[in-house]
Amino acid sequence: MPRYNYVALDARGQESTGLVEAASTNEVIGQLRQAGYFPTSVYEETKSGRDGKVARRTAKMARATRPRAKGSIVLFQRKKIKPKILMIFTRQLATLIDSGLPLLRSLNVLAKQERDGVLRNTINKLADGVQGGNTFSDALALHPRIFNDLYVNMVKAGEIGGVLELVLNRLAEFQEKAAKIKNKVKSAMVYPVIVMTMAVAIMGFLLVFIVPKFEAIFHDMLGDRPLPVITTFVINVSKMVQNHWLIIIGGIVAAPAAYRFVARTRGGKSVIDRFMLQLPLFGDLNRKTAISRFTRTLGTLVTSGVPILQALNITRETAGNAVIANAISQVHDSVKEGESIVQPLEASRAFPPMVISMIDVGEETGQLPEMLLKIANVYDDEVDNSVAGLTAALEPIMIVFLAFIVGTIVIALFMPLISIIQGLQQQT
């Protein structure tokens, strides 16, 4: 009988390995699940070669978190879908299952009515996987670009607990509220970006086309007489822009690329995220958004039956902020040692005292998941208020900033004109 090596996670999220004898890979996976394990990889051990050395041949990868789907390579093929489309699919699937339809039939119904080509093909593949004997969570795990770790593990918990429709409804609600918060933060950023773009465009136009013409007028009318300091400064800036415009444009184009490169490194992302939490005006909004995401993700996972250590790992990966992720890592280590989650949260200094106190109360009363969701609801309202306050504060600030840029250039150009007019009047 063939022997199979496996790697699996236990109920506490700890990894274990071993070797078992079975007739097939599916039998190994079934034995591991009956024993309470979550297999992440299973491969057959076979002998090959003249010297009898053992060579491992991968038979099947049963990924529970981050698999890679096999398929042909097609250039320019879209592999992701919009969050709103995924949210609608999740809500519709929960409704069909709650109405009594079997999972396979529900997937076939949704595949026929789905207009998005990527999601329609994915649903068909999910239906094929379920029909072939795989669990729904294993079928989802084969499409990590569409269904992330949070989605897969919540579905897995719903399958184990027999409450798949309830978990899908929670997933849909989670996606709706996450999209709502994300859209509000984006809307708060639109106004300053538009004003800054207009300011740069106006300033560039004046420096490149208008200031040089006035400089020629000043030279003809005033000769070598000294110009006001502000006028000299604006003319020098205009010359610099004209002589080095390629470098300036290259710097503007390279800045986002450099930011992305630095953000991909662990140290760079940590510095950037810490800076984002300390920004004036925007720092408070970023902190509240990160806390809302953390508490809602962890609360939704634990409420759905995902083990706390596994839930913390998923929450850390989806935190969106390195400072919050580091705090979650400390919480994970503390819970793994059987300690409280309050001390590492407090030591991180990333969470307000109110959040720590509410989590402490939830932990003492045994209602931590419910308390986490309450905190998320509170901070959703806080984000609403912060966005409204930020928008109200940014409008006059941006107007004053734009007026300062344009006004400085206009004053610099008109001060020598006043001297020229006064000289003409004295001549007459």
pLDDT in tens, 213-246: 888 888 888 777 888 889 999 999 999 988 888 8
Q: What is the pLDDT of residues 407-423, one digit of tens each?
A: 888 898 888 888 778 77
Calpha distance 143→124 (Å, rounded): 12
> How high is the pLDDT of residue 74?
42
| pTM, to two decimals | 0.64
User: Is residue 326 a contact partner of residue 270, using CB atoms and an 8 Å limit?
Assistant: yes
Burial class (CB in 10 A: 0-12, 13-18, 19+), 272: middle
pLDDT-based confidence at residue 426 (cuts at 50, 70, 90): confident
Is the pLDDT at 79 greater than 80? The verdict is no
Calculate the CA 122 to chain-centre distance.
23
pLDDT over 60 at 12, yes or no: no
The DSSP bridge pattern shows strands 3-9 and 54-60 to be unpaired
Q: Which percentage of the chain shows pLDDT scores above 90? A: 9
Q: What is the Cα–Cα distance from 345 to 372, expressed in whole angstroms? A: 13
Question: For position 47, what pLDDT does the model report?
Answer: 46
Q: What angle do CA 217, 218, 222 make, to 5 degrees?
A: 125
Average pLDDT for residues 344-357, to the nearest whole number? 87
Give the residue carrying structure tokens 């989605």: 151
The pLDDT value given to residue 371: 92
Q: Which residues of 209-244 are buried (b: 16+ CB within 10 A; e: fewer)?
A: eebeebbeebeeeeeeeebeeebeebbeebeebeee
Over residues 35-69, the pLDDT tens digits come to 777 666 677 765 444 343 433 433 333 333 333 33
Lowest mean pLDDT among 78-87, 130-139, 254-263, 406-415: 78-87
Residue 198 has pLDDT above 80, yes or no: yes
The average pLDDT across 178-193 equals 81
Residue 40: per-residue pLDDT = 64
Above 60 in pLDDT, residue 201?
A: yes
Token pair, residue 278, equals: 């300390």
Position 72 scores a pLDDT of 39
DSSP-derived 3-state class of residue 133: coil
What pLDDT does 428 receive?
A: 65
> Is the pLDDT assigned to residue 123 strictly greater than 90?
yes
The reported pLDDT for the residue numbered 78 is: 62
- How many CB atoms are located within 10 Å of the residue 335 CB? 18
Least confident of 23-27, 88-92, 296-300, 312-316: 23-27
Q: What is the mean pLDDT of residues 337-350?
A: 84
Would you say residue 251 has pLDDT above 80?
Answer: yes
**So what's the pLDDT on residue 375?**
92
Residues 6+ apart with CB under 8 A from 293: 178, 181, 318, 319, 320
Contacts of 248 (CB under 8 A, 6+ apart): 241
**Residue, of 25 and 197, whose pLDDT is higher:** 197
List for the chain the helix, strand, coil content (%; round to 5).
70, 5, 20
pLDDT for residue 38:
66
Q: Which residue has the higher pLDDT, 28 or 85?
A: 85
CA-nearest of 246, 350, 240 to 290 is 350
Q: Look at residue 116 and tell me whether its pLDDT is greater than 70.
A: yes
Q: How far apart are CA 142 and CA 280, in angstroms?
A: 42
| Edge-to-edge strand list for the sheet holding 38-47 | 15-21, 3-9, 38-47, 54-60
**Structure tokens, 128:** 């094929």
Higher-scoring residue by pLDDT: 49, 106: 106
* Mean pLDDT score across all residues of the chain: 81
State mean pLDDT over 390-403: 83
Bigger pLDDT: 50 or 251?
251
